[in-house]
A and B are shown apart, each in its own frame.
Chain A
Amino acid sequence: MSTPALETHDLTVTYHKRPVLYGVDLAIPEGNLVGIIGPNGAGKSTFIKAVMGVVPGSSGWVKVFGKPLKDMRHRVGYVPQRESVDWDFPVTVMDVALMGTYGELGLFRRVGKRERMIASESLDKVGMLPYANRQIGNLSGGQQQRVFLARALAQDSDLYFMDEPFVGVDAATERAIIELLQEMRAQGKTVIVVHHDLQSAQQYFDMLMLLNMRLVACGKTKDIFTTELLQKTYGGKLTILSEMADKAAKSSF
């Protein structure tokens, strides 16, 4: 079997001493469109952030294409939650798309023609090229999400993490995004998406990660989209785990 696109072992994350994610072990093969599903507060975003190194993991390891993430940054793209940034920030749509090319540019090299080409093409793919010179605050929610996607496309990565790309977007944008994701998968890319809607999850993704502080299941959608596993993910069985987490946070030592 080929090296998985993403492999985690015993990945655990704590916020202010409160564990929010316990020992996640998984392996995602290349070329899949994967949905991360689970109730609010299940640690879906935290999982992505921990893998990306945005929040520190307290134990365990992450491998991307068989190597530690820091050696593989150039093959990994990240789309944070749309609400995580200030949309009044004085940059244009083009500026944001250009940020996708910065990883390759390093800290000091200037933006050139090649980078502008890449950014323009990425904006064109999401239908945002006509807005290239707009300040980002003058866009609708769906348009803002498309700009974020264009930035990710400009990164030209092989593995993508997207945090709730479907939140607050109109139906047309949702369709456009999912078509784009499917196209990326067809090119052999692996896309891992935090998603909150169970109904569409079944249609959209070929693999699912059912998450609720623990990894409940991870596998092909047709195998694990079962009432039993969903109940396990969304049901009340985890209350003791959560209570213990609170207790651990309070007994600070």
Chain B
Amino acid sequence: MMNLELLATLSVTQSAILAAILVGLSCGLLGCYVVVRRVALVGDTLSHAVFPGVVAGFMWSEERNIYLIFLCAMLAGLLGVMMVRAVQATTRLKSDAALGVVLASFFGIGILWNSTNQQSGVKDFLFGDLAIISALDLQLMGWMTALVIFVVLLLMRPLQVISFDEGFAVGLGYPVKVLNFIFFALLTFTVVVALQAVGVVLVSAMLITPAATAYLLTDRMHRMMVYSAALGIFACVVGALLSSMVSAMPPGPVIALTATAGFSVVYFMAPRHGVVSKWMRSRQQTKKVSRENILKAIYKELETDGFQAHNVSIETLAVIRKVTMEDALQQAKSLVQAGQARWERDKAAIYLTPSGWRVAAMIVRNHRLWELYLTDLMNYESDHVHDDAEKIEHILGEDAVRRLERDLDFPEFDPHGMPIPSLKDFENSRLG
């Protein structure tokens, strides 16, 4: 892969794809640390701060000397980071303002300097162009990416600790300053590698979007790095292919937008943190709560005659739930579908299944137990407690119930004098 002659035999498209893979890999990996350390703005500032270095590289070399350009770009980037630190240390400005000042000034210098003596190659770094990547460029990108990957894997554990808890890392005796310097040096490397593919303005998108997407997918750092690198490579390759097929289409925006598309899919669809799955869960919760409320109403209705009757007619359900017959039928149907009730007499009535009874008794118990807790232990007035219990009854877990029962000395009646169903008694008498 590092063989220059071999690289020279690649077609333009092949070179572009190889470069895209390198950029996606290094940005995806390092981006994870950028996101979890909350230094996304640093990535943005760095990509602008290296720009005067790129211009200097072009100005000071006879022909386009990629080594000099990379070197100058890196020095400019590190200088930028150090200036941010200096501004922060000597003024009361926080990092965001310091970053903003440095970003604007460095980028301004680069643009102005370039305008004094237009260098045609500079534009390729400003906006990114994968089509003009030479074998030499590729070789250099390959080495730098390899270095970034090597150091990240080698220092994975220390980097994780300083990212999570810098104070603790100092306590461990880690050379925190050195590690931070290495981190920002790697970040600068990565930015410089990515410049030719996506351009100054969109490098930060490559650093942040794949990693942010991966962050929505997993709670583990190493998985996050795998997902992020995969999405980074995917986005870059799509960008490289599209821009090679459609002439005059710059790869940078395509890469950034592909990554964003990946982010959108995950934003909506991710199993735990995604918006759609959250919405579905909340919808299921709402349905569960509404079923529990119906069951509770049925329980209370049957309780009035000491559980003589076994079923509840739809008419009665409509009355106690204060809804129309049609809605009452719907409510009964939802219980039947959940296996908590069965139809009787040609859908004119329902009776509860054992699981329905269990949930009904549980909710009534939770409600009355909570009311008692509020009145007896929290000194609420007994007419203030019903509304609160209406909410808490659905979320009170078994653990909390056990504790409440113990703290209240296994009570039998709620503040309004109604019996609190105990699950055991209930199952024995009713279902046993």
Residues of A with Cβ closer than 8 Å to B? 16, 49, 52-54, 70, 73-74, 76-78, 80, 84-86, 89-92, 95-96, 99, 102-103, 105, 107-108, 111, 135, 137, 151
Query: In the complex the two chains form, what is the Cα distance from A16 to B173 in whole Å?
Result: 25
Cβ of B172 and Cβ of A102 under 8 Å apart? yes
User: Are B171 and A54 touching (Cβ within 8 A)?
Assistant: yes
Contact residue among B36, B158, B166, B168 (Cβ-Cβ distance under 8 Å from A107): B158
Residues of B within 8 A of A107 (CB): 155, 157-158, 174
Known: A54-B171, A99-B161. A86 touches B218 (CB 8 A): no
- Residue contact B157 to A76, C-beta cutoff 8 Å: no
User: Across the interface, do B164 and A89 meet the contact criterion of CB distance under 8 Å?
Assistant: yes
Using Cβ atoms and an 8 Å threshold, which residues of chain A touch B161?
Answer: 99, 102
Secondary structure type dominating chain A contacts: mixed
CA distance A54 to B170 in the complex (A): 6
The 8 Å CB contact of B165, one of A73, A76, A85, A105, is A85
Bound-complex Cα distance A108 to B156 (A): 9
Asked if B92 is an interface residue, CB under 8 A from chain A, the answer is yes
Docked-complex contact A90 and B218, CB < 8 angstroms: yes
Q: Are B92 and A16 in contact (CB under 8 A)?
A: yes
Q: With a CB–CB cut-off of 8 A, which chain A residues contact B154?
A: 108
**When chains A and B are docked, how far (Å) is the Cα of A229 from the Cα of B298?**
66
A91 touches B168 (CB 8 A): no
Q: Are A111 and B164 in contact (CB under 8 A)?
A: no
With A86-B38, A90-B224, A108-B154 given, is the CB distance from A103 to B164 under 8 Å? Answer: no
- Decide: B92 and A90 in contact? CB cutoff 8 A: no
> Which residues of chain B come closer than 8 Å to A89, judged between CB atoms?
36, 163-164
Q: Beyond the given A84-B167, A89-B163, A151-B168, could you list 13 further A-B residue pairs with CB under 8 A, ordered by the A residue number?
A: A54-B171, A73-B171, A73-B173, A80-B165, A89-B36, A90-B224, A91-B220, A92-B220, A99-B164, A105-B157, A107-B155, A107-B174, A137-B219
Asked if A90 meets B168 with Cβ closer than 8 Å, knowing A70-B173, A102-B161, A107-B174, the reply is no
Closest to A87 in B: B164
Contact A90 to B36, CB < 8 A, known contacts A76-B171, A85-B164, A107-B174: yes
Q: Which residue of A lies closest to B174 (CB)?
A: A107
A84-B165 CB under 8 A given contacts A73-B171, A102-B157: yes
Knowing A73-B172, A102-B157 touch, does A90 contact B219 (C-beta < 8 A)?
yes
Among residues of B, the one whose C-beta sits closest to the C-beta of A102 is B172
Interface assignment of B160: CB less than 8 Å from any CB of chain A? yes
Which 8 pairs from chain A and chain B are nearest by CB?
A78-B171, A135-B219, A73-B173, A103-B172, A80-B167, A54-B167, A54-B170, A90-B221
Q: Of all chain A residues, which has the CB nearest B224?
A: A90
Contacting A49 at CB < 8 Å: which of B92, B165, B167, B221?
B167
Q: How far is the CB of B381 from chain A (nearest CB, A)?
A: 26
- B contact face: mostly helix, strand, loop, or mixed: helix
A76 to B172, CA, bound (A): 8
CB distance from B190 to the nearest CB of A (A): 20
Which residue of chain B has its CB nearest to the CB of A49? B167
Q: Say yes or no: A103 contacts B173, CB within 8 Å.
A: yes
Cβ of B160: which chain A residues have Cβ within 8 Å of it? 91, 95
Tell me if B167 and A91 are in contact (CB < 8 A): no
B165/A92 in contact, CB under 8 A: no
Q: Is B234 an interface residue (CB 8 A)?
A: no
Pairwise interchain contact B171-A91, C-beta atoms closer than 8 A: no
B170 touches A86 (CB 8 A): no
Evaluate contact between B168 and A99: CB separation under 8 angstroms.
yes
CB contact under 8 A between A77 and B171, given known A85-B164, A99-B161: yes
Q: List 17 A-B contacts (CB under 8 A).
A: A54-B170, A70-B173, A73-B173, A74-B173, A80-B167, A80-B171, A85-B165, A86-B36, A86-B164, A90-B221, A90-B224, A92-B220, A99-B165, A102-B172, A102-B174, A107-B155, A135-B219
**Which residues of the other chain, B, contact A99 by a CB distance below 8 angstroms?**
161, 164-165, 168, 172
Query: Taking CB as reference atom, which chain B residue is nearest A103?
Result: B172
Are the C-beta atoms of A78 and B36 separated by less than 8 Å?
Answer: no
Task: Report Cα–Cα, A105/B161, bound state, in Å.
Answer: 13
In residues 200-237 of chain B, which contact A (Cβ within 8 Å)? 215, 218-221, 224
In the complex, A108 Cα to B175 Cα: how many Å? 13
Partner of B219, one of A70, A76, A92: A92
Specify which chain A residues have a CB less than 8 angstroms from the CB of B219 in the assembled complex.
90, 92, 135, 137
A53 to B177 CA separation, bound complex (whole angstroms)? 12
Roughly how many angstroms separate A77 CA and B163 CA in the complex, as a whole number? 19
